Amino acid sequence: MNVLGIDIGGTGIKGAPVNVETGELLAERFRIPTPHPARPDAVADVVAEITRHFNHAGPTGITFPAIIKKGGVYSASNVDTSWIGTDAAALFTRRLGGPVTVVNDADAAGIAEMRFGAGRGQKGVVILLTFGTGIGSAIFYDGRLLPNSEFGHLTIRGKDAEKRSSEKVREEKGLSWKQWAGRVSEYLASLEKLFSPDLFIIGGGVSNKAEKFLSLLTAGTSVPVEAARMRNEAGIIGAACVAAPHLS
């Protein structure tokens, strides 16, 4: 089945039609920079443009970088605060006309990796973390998601983890891979103490550069660490899976 997946991020909004049986993108993804300010109407305009680009009329899954419950937005750490309290699913459904499902961005990436990628067939506790503008998280037990885990806001050395070790912080502060990996290792060690995971999966923008840091992350944790296989496309694929009626 062909479902459109759209991933709303801090710097770009990306979409592609997805074969939800195989997890493959059916066309090259289309990306538009995130408007600033990223208010609901401006973001909905971009989402509508992406839908038009693919001439898509069927179900659409959309990720959003915030706590999402029943299509509503409950937080806004890295997005315009005017989103809090909005019904994002209703807003996008009005604009697109077809059925829309909205899901937290990291939860979507986790769903894709558990179904088609690094977490496929993994039992026990799996934690996927996305490192981009912020840090997103998804936690699974025997393949089932506990939604909206928000581990990016765990306090490390008196600060939100995402304010110390997101990909944005690495770039802005000019941290070396070793310095950044040191911060991430400390963060993984805290998560290990709390959740005893069997596997960490590292996704988000940074997963395209896994060869630069993966081997540096082992210091802080005894838990295996893998890079997301679908790299930065996991959000698009997971969103489409959530929107596919027979798969969610």
Residues that bind ligand BGC (CB under 6 A): 65-67, 75, 77-78, 104-106, 130, 132, 134, 136, 150, 152, 162
Rounded-to-integer distance, Cα 82 and Cα 66, Å: 12
With b meaning 16 or more CB within 10 Å and e meaning fewer, what string describes 79-111?
A: beeebeebebbebbbeebeeebbbbbbbbbbbb
Nearest to residue 195, comparing CAs of 121, 114, 138?
Answer: 138
- If one counts every other C-beta atom within 10 angstroms of the C-beta of residue 140, the result is 26
In the complex, least distance from residue 169 CB atom to ligand BGC, rounded to whole angstroms: 12
Opening angle at CA 208, ends 207 and 212, nearest 5: 80
Minimal distance in Å, beta carbon 34 to ligand BGC?
12
We find the least distance from the C-beta atom of residue 134 to ligand BGC, in angstroms, to be: 3
The angle, 0 to 180 degrees and rounded to 10, between the axes of the packed helices 40-53 and 88-96 is 40
Angstrom distance (rounded) from CA 164 to CA 128: 18
Report the residue number, 130 or 221, with the smaller CB distance to ligand BGC.
130
Q: How far is the CB of 158 from ligand BGC (least distance, A)?
A: 18
Closest to ligand BGC by CB, 78 vs 165, is 78
Residues 6+ apart with CB under 8 A from 209: none
Q: How far is the CB of 79 from ligand BGC (least distance, A)?
A: 8
Please tell me whether the peptide bond between 65 and the residue prior to it is cis, using omega within 30 degrees of 0: no
Nearest to ligand BGC of 138, 240 (CB atom): 138
